Amino acid sequence: MPNIWNGEAIKQKMLDAAKWAVDKTMADCVIGSKQSHPGWNNITGTAEGSIRIVAFAQEDGNVVRGIWGSADVDYMIWLELKHGSALRMAADANYPKLNAHIREAFNG
């Protein structure tokens, strides 16, 4: 039986799984922070509407990363720091699930 090396295919599968998992985790954070901001009320929709994925997952050297949060609403930092930490609470709830999302994508 010939010795077949699948290292490159496995590395690509893991990279693809990591990208999918980071995007899923960020999407869950966006949804969670839009649904739960107990320290402030959604009046105009501007702050809540600013919460989004800013940059989808990409390979960056030896890591996979993406960016999510509030974009283009300067007062969101005030809401976050003084009125409820919606973004942080969503991250706290969803970031621990990243490993499970990677496993799901890799094995699924």
pTM recorded for the entire structure: 0.89
Residue 53's identity, in one-letter code, is I
Q: Is 72 left (phi over 0), alpha (psi -120 to 50) or beta?
A: left
> pLDDT for 80-101, tens place per residue?
999 989 999 999 999 999 999 9
> pLDDT for 29-82, tens place per residue?
999 999 988 888 888 989 999 999 999 999 998 899 999 999 999 999 999 999
Angstrom distances, CA of residue 89 to CA of 9, 50, 51, 61, 95? 37, 17, 13, 28, 10
